[in-house]
Chain A
Amino acid sequence: MDLWFSEFHAPDVKHSIRVNRHLYSQRSAYQQIDVFDTPEFGRVLTLDGSVLLTERDEFIYDEMITHVPLSVHPDIRDVLVIGAGDGGVVRELTRYKSVEKIDLIEMDPQVVEVCRMYLPENASKLDDPRVHIFFDNALRILRRCHANYDLIIVDSIDPFGPSEGYFTREFYGICYNALREDGIMVNQQGSPFYKHDAEAMRRSHQRIVNTFPISRVYQAHIPTYAAGYWLFGFASKKYHPINDFHAEKWEALQLKTDYYTTRLHVGSFYLPAFLERMLQEVE
């Protein structure tokens, strides 16, 4: 049998993964959720036909969106994670003893349920006593918050589906307002390579630039995302991602990672020329 999962990364580009078994397929109140078992990437979770994560490469994403801000801000205690119902980001966060509270807002309870069942390694820390899960629209909860968090991690999928609201000016504004005066917001910023994605990336970068005094973009290589090339946004009220970076302090924690290193931390903020230009145009 020749069974493949395919996803359009651009109208004329298709990325396919061979499938052993289709483990789960259901429509939740918000989206179509599927889990595949694949020979190369292990279990693959897709939402509305787009890969959210695979067992094989999720570590890149989860490490880069977590360790970068935590090695910059010296005292992160209260963290808010938006989206990320799979639990990968929460798992990385729970490795820091200094983190006292992790609030997780996920729109779709069914995503969490499915991950607990099919991706137990990712979801393993969702029951940590520091973790509080809220099933709700993040805009609704956050607009009532003021200076409650040191770090907000926006781990929402793409800007064209149910999380469109998490790429908007009003969303970044209420995140700003919910952060303490030295707070940091990190978000997944999409891919700069294909035209459609690049346009959305530029727009959200522009909105962040207009909202936060410090706003930098960093990159990582993630094989199952569009073009295998992914960006994150680092937006901050006070700390600069490189000037205020505490490499030794982070090294002293002795956390074992598979992608993130303190050298890569600095390197990931050095961007290719075309991307620098693209970002400068909206800055």
Chain B
Amino acid sequence: MEIKRKLDQNRAPIYEALQMFRKMRVVPFDVPGHKRGRGNPELTEFLGEQCVGIDVNSMKPLDNLCHPVSVIREAEELAADAFGASHAFLMVGGTTSAVQSMVLSVCKRGDKIILPRNVHRSVINALVLCGAVPVYVNPEVDVKLGISLGMKREQVKKAICEHPDAVAVLVNNPTYYGICSDIKEIVAMAHKAGMYCLADEAHGTHFYFGEGLPVSAMAAGADMASVSMHKSGGSLTQSSLLLTGPNINAGYVRQIINLTQTTSGSYLLLSSLDISRRNLALKGKRVFGKVIEMADYAREEINAIGGYYAFGRELINGDSVFDFDSTKLSVHTRDIGLAGIEVYDLLRDEYDIQIEFGDIGNILAYLSIGDRMQELERLVSALAEIRRRYQKDSRGLLSQEYLAPEVVLSPQEAFYAGKKSVPLSESVGHVCSEFIMCYPPGIPIIAPGERVTDEIIRYIEYAKAKGCSMTGPEDPEINHINILTQEGR
């Protein structure tokens, strides 16, 4: 759906103000102490004078991220216009901070929030911070691929009926693998029940600009959306956007953001958001058209190799896969006898190709505005070579399954409760007080407040053995896990 834009998207106010600022040659007796890089020549040599020269502090001509009144405010208005939102907040703490601010803006201690369990850790972290209680909608699972799909309308409806006191429904739009739920209908159901609808759009920036892509959260009528500009949008790592719709009080959201966001917002990040938004608004349609073409081509070529399954829009089933993001290049690898993580490691160690992630059964290559055909040919060829050289019998490979959690306590209660560290094998049956996940994708295998089961331990051991990079627990080796000393039930 095309967004009607009213403002002049050729403008980039923060970028323009920094250009002007550079010309003024202002003498710095303020922070940062490197003083345009002079105090740190090695850093300047490494990053370049252009770059360190605009690493400056908030000041009148450059506005202030905590309370924008001039160029940052204009940049936010332009971003809101570009994304079809009522308000846009420039974020410098990653999409993690956008997601947390989004959840904190609508939930308070004890409030219920309806969400799929395959959310990013930042969502559950937000629940630890604010004390809200998750009501999980178990996502459907594609058994062959071993991936979690979207939420079915019927399941969301059921959750809303059973928990009429919930304050919000959160939707992944899309999941890491590019799978979308029927967000428009979910928004309608949530609003009818007097709940907000929030969207984690960490992987959906391009929905606002491309053609033939799933509907964006703002277009679907969602109340808030966290958008990772630095993923498909091309801005610098850690820069992000929080979008709000007409039902949200922007002033309050600003207060929430200021609870945790730095007061020294980086102008490198802010200008990258400004320039990227301009680029997307002006050229996004053409650029993402090309990205889709490349991804479709790669899917065709990878499927022609044999053994691999690069999946696409054929998964769409009108409900748990309501739509599919064609820019996502996910490949199922189990049938060549290798876990996704093994292919991921081979691509990097043997072929100097770094992809986004590999899990138990799949790999994901992230395609975006910076990709070229020649590198895509390398990726496809390397996959053909990996099949030729490393193909194995696929028997004995674990299929990734969705492990439905038993939530015993709210994440916050569990996180702060009395706990002790026990070996993994002794934790079965107890309530866990921390996260364990493969990163990426960063979707918790177990979260604080959930009961440890045999399957969960088996899964963790298997993922460790296959070489997944595991994060979350206090014990970096993940041999021990923290459990509650007394169960709250």
Contacts and interface: CB of A to CB of B under 8 A. Distances in A.
A153 to B, nearest CB: 19
Nearest to A177: B388
B380 interface: yes
Contacts of B352: 168-169
Contacts of A169: 350-352, 382, 385
B374 A137 contact: yes
Contacts of B378: 139, 165, 168, 170-171
A282 to B, nearest CB: 15
Contacts of B374: 137, 162, 164-165
Contacts of A162: 374
Given A143-B380, A168-B378, A169-B382, A137 B351 contact: no
B384 A143 contact: yes
A217 interface: no
Contacts of A139: 377-378, 380-381
Interface residue tally on B, bucketed by range: 10 to 19
Nearest to B305: A143
B489 interface: no
A256 interface: no
A154 to B, nearest CB: 14
Interface in B373-429: 373-375, 377-378, 380-382, 384-385, 388-389
A170 B347 CA distance: 10
Residue of A139, A162, A170, A173 contacting most chain B CB atoms (<10 Å) = A170
Interface residues of A, number: 16
Given A139-B378, A165-B378, A170 B385 contact: yes
A168 B351 contact: yes
Contacts of A137: 373-374, 377
Interface string B115-143: 00000000000000000000000000000
B343 to A, nearest CB: 13
A33 interface: no
A112 interface: no
Contacts of B350: 169
A226 B355 CA distance: 34
A173 B380 contact: no
Contacts of B351: 168-170
Interface in B290-315: 301, 304-305
Interface in A101-153: 137, 139-140, 142-144
Interface in A142-187: 142-144, 162, 164-165, 168-171, 173-174, 177
Residue of A137, A162, A164 contacting most chain B CB atoms (<10 Å) = A137
Contacts of A144: 304
A139 B374 CA distance: 9
B385 A165 contact: no
Nearest to B301: A140
A171 B381 contact: yes
A144 B375 CA distance: 18
A178 B132 CA distance: 60
Contacts of B373: 137
A64 B383 CA distance: 33
Contacts of A140: 301, 377, 380-381
Nearest to A30: B374
Nearest to A144: B304
A3 B381 CA distance: 44
Nearest to B350: A169
Residue of B301, B380, B385, B388 contacting most chain A CB atoms (<10 Å) = B385
Interface in B173-205: none
Contacts of A177: 385, 388
A124 B10 CA distance: 52
A169 B375 CA distance: 13
A143 B377 CA distance: 10
Interface in B320-361: 350-352
A164 B381 CA distance: 14
A168 B375 CA distance: 11
Contacts of A170: 351, 378, 381-382, 384-385
A140 B376 CA distance: 10
A179 to B, nearest CB: 13
11 contacts: A137-B373, A137-B374, A140-B301, A143-B305, A165-B377, A168-B351, A170-B385, A171-B378, A173-B388, A173-B389, A174-B385
Given A139-B381, A164-B374, A171-B381, 11 more contacts: A137-B373, A139-B377, A139-B378, A140-B377, A165-B374, A165-B377, A168-B351, A168-B352, A169-B352, A170-B378, A174-B384
Instruction: Identify the 6 closest CB pairs spanning chains A and B, nearest first.
Output: A170-B382, A173-B385, A139-B377, A170-B381, A139-B381, A143-B384
